Amino acid sequence: MTAVLIANRGEIAVRVVAACRRLGLTPVVAVSDADRDSLAAQLADRAICVGPAPAPSSYLRAELMVEAALATGATLLHPGYGFLSEQPALAEACEDNGIAFVGPRPDSLRAVGDKASARAVAEKAGVPVAPGAVVLDETSAVRAAREIGFPLLVKAVHGGGGRGITLVRDESELVKVLPVAAAEAQAGFGNGALYLERFYAAARHVEVQVFGDGEGGVAVLGERDCSVQRRHQKLIEECPAPGLSLATRDLLRTSAARLVEQLRYRGAGTVEFVLDTESTADPQTIVFLEMNARIQVEHPVTEEAYGVDLVAAQLRLALGEPHGLPDDPPEPAVHVLECRLNAEDPYAGFRPAPGRITRVTFPRGPGIRIESHVYEGYLLPPYYDSLLGKVIVRARNRVEAIDAMLAAVRATEINGVTTTAPLHEFVLAHPDFRASAVETRWLDTVWPPASASGTVSKGHAA
């Protein structure tokens, strides 16, 4: 039996275990000291403890993961998402030790690993990019800004996950922000390099799921809309992305495919775009945002829409087999939504609320899929992210899917921690969201609702 070392935790580790089961592979999960009792550890054939709870001492140490793979005889290593998943060092260490890294080649990871090089690759592949420039000092920044126009975004070149981004409205603001942003980038990402980029005030986040065979071949599995965001953190995703013209879809897909071909990209990836909703042309204006060289949190919406198993396809490819995905699948006749339930208090600035889960009831029924690692009695550790699980719902059209999701969220019971369920119920019931896709800044304009925050303030004073 071929063993797979799962170098991750939480729901994605559980998901990889499931994909291993589908293919008859032996899942081995690398755990930190805090995750010895995790669901993934229970479901896998074996768990191996690599280090203490803090991620920098365990889940972020490539050498421990490779050691764990070697020690358990695993010949594949699946990095999940986050943590080491996009670190060329891990992919390289795997290569050096005869372990198949379930992800892109190290050179691909490097090529898309920071904004500047990713942008360069995109431009080379003929993918539309936003007006923007890397800036070295105030002089070059001001000159570049005048060309790009205000408002614009100041980004850390090595930032990610929505962090290290500042909106600047005019030149005086830019001059003030530059040194602060550079210092923060240095502190947060170990590199003070900054990048200026045109800011689209009315934008949607639309991304394309791609899967490369490593030899230039590419399967394109439609678009996801992930515009329901709070401070660049996705909360609700859907597939297909609603309301796009055929020409816009085609532009998105061919752009994404070109990037994959250019990189001779291997495995699952996502090409993210900003869609300018103020553009009235057909196709609408899209600009390349970044490429995520890994499986994503929201991959199940694509799986449910297209009837595929992306993680199994990753493993198949790493095994040297055909990935088995259709290159150009028919358009799905269904609509799929995903809600991320986090252990956070949506009425109190989304403050993380780790704790012990005292009761869990997930919804059941047709079209409902749950991806989660929590169970009754589980102590959500304070060391990692606050994702409790994902509710994925598939129905015949968007309205039915929204209704089904609303019912599913209401039927979800996770006691012992505060969850973001009220936010999801609010969005799913909101006329703006129900009418069509919203813009990425929409959520911040409607949440928290005035009445709710008032109530909560009183509650805290009491």
Partner 1 sequence: MAAANPTSSPEQDLPTWAEIAELVAKLDAGTFADVDLQMPGFRLRMSTTPDAFTEQAPAARPRASAEPPVPTAAPAPAAAPVPTDAPEPTATATPRPHSATLSSDLVEITAPILGTFYSKPSPDVEPFVEVGSTVAADTTVAIVEVMKLMNPVSANTSGRVVEVVASDGDLVEFGQVLFRVAPDVAPDEVTR
- Residues forming contacts to its own copies in the complex (CB under 8 A) are 14-15, 17-19, 21-24, 43, 300, 303-304, 307-312, 324, 326, 330, 333-334, 361, 363-369, 371, 394-396, 400, 404, 407-408, 410-411
What tokens were used for 245? Answer: 């013209």
Q: Which of 200, 211, 288, 350 binds partner 1 (CB under 8 A)?
A: 350
Q: Please, which of residues 33-52 interact with partner 1 by CB under 8 A?
A: 33-34, 36-37, 42, 48-52
Comparing CA positions, the residue from 247, 269, 297 lying closest to residue 121 is 269
| Of 88, 71, 208, residue with least CA distance to 79 | 88
CB distance 234 to 228 below 8 Å: yes
* Residue 274 CB, nearest approach to partner 1 (Å): 11
**Sequence-ordered list of residues with C-beta below 8 angstroms from that of 83, at least 6 positions apart, any chain:** 7, 8, 55, 59, 60
| Residue number, 115 or 373, with CB nearest to its own copies | 373
Q: Which residues 6+ apart lie within 8 Å of 295 measured at CB?
A: 12, 80, 81, 85, 268, 310, 311, 314
Considering only 3, 7, 79, 83, the residue that binds partner 1 (CB under 8 A) is 83
Encoded one letter per residue, x for contact with partner 1 by CB under 8 A and - for no contact, window 376-415 reads xxxxxxxxxx-x----------------------------
Rounded Cα–Cα distance for residues 424 and 148 (Å)? 36
Q: What token pair was written down for 325?
A: 């995905």
Complete DSSP assignment for 155-201: EETT--TT-SEEEE-SHHHHHHHHHHHHHHHHHHHS---EEEEE--S
CA distance 348 to 299: 29
**Closest CB 138 distance from its own copies, rounded Å:** 51
Closest CA to 195 of 271, 120, 141, 129: 141
Which position among 198, 224, 230, 294 bears the catalytic label?
294
The residue range among 145-153, 212-220, 255-263, 348-356 that interacts with partner 1, by the rule CB under 8 A, is 348-356
Kindly state the smallest distance separating residue 121's Cβ from its own copies, in Å: 30
To the nearest whole angstrom, how small is the minimum distance from the Cβ of residue 457 to partner 1?
5
The token pair at 455 is 């109530």
Segment interacting with partner 1, rule: CB under 8 A, options 13-21, 109-117, 121-129, 228-236: 228-236
Q: What residue 456 binds from its own copies, partner 1, none (CB within 5 to 8 A, per partner kind)? A: partner 1
Helix (H) / strand (E) containing 142 = helix 138-148
DSSP label at 106? H
Q: Least separation, in Å, of the C-beta of 366 and its own copies?
A: 4
Interatomic CA distance for residues 306 and 329, integer angstroms: 8
Hey, which residues between 175 and 204 contact partner 1 (CB under 8 A)? 188
Amino acid, res. 111:
A
- 276 interacts with partner 1 by CB under 8 A: no
For 389, other C-beta atoms within 10 Å of its C-beta total 23
Count Cα atoms within 13 angstroms, Cβ side, for 453: 9
- Nearer CB in complex with its own copies: 243/326: 326
Which partner, partner 1, its own copies, none, binds residue 365 by CB below 5 to 8 Å per kind? its own copies
Given 163, 258, 264, 434, the residue binding partner 1 (CB under 8 A): 163
The least CB distance from residue 309 to its own copies, in Å, is: 5
Question: Does the active-site annotation cover 198?
Answer: no
The smaller minimum CB distance to its own copies, of residues 122 and 305, is found at 305
Select 64 or 76, whichever has its Cβ closest to partner 1. 64
Give which of its own copies, partner 1, none residue 461 binds (C-beta under 5 to 8 Å, depending on kind).
partner 1
Nearer to its own copies, 223 or 304 (CB): 304
Q: Residue 258 CB, nearest distance to its own copies (Å)?
A: 26
Hey, which residues are catalytic here? 294
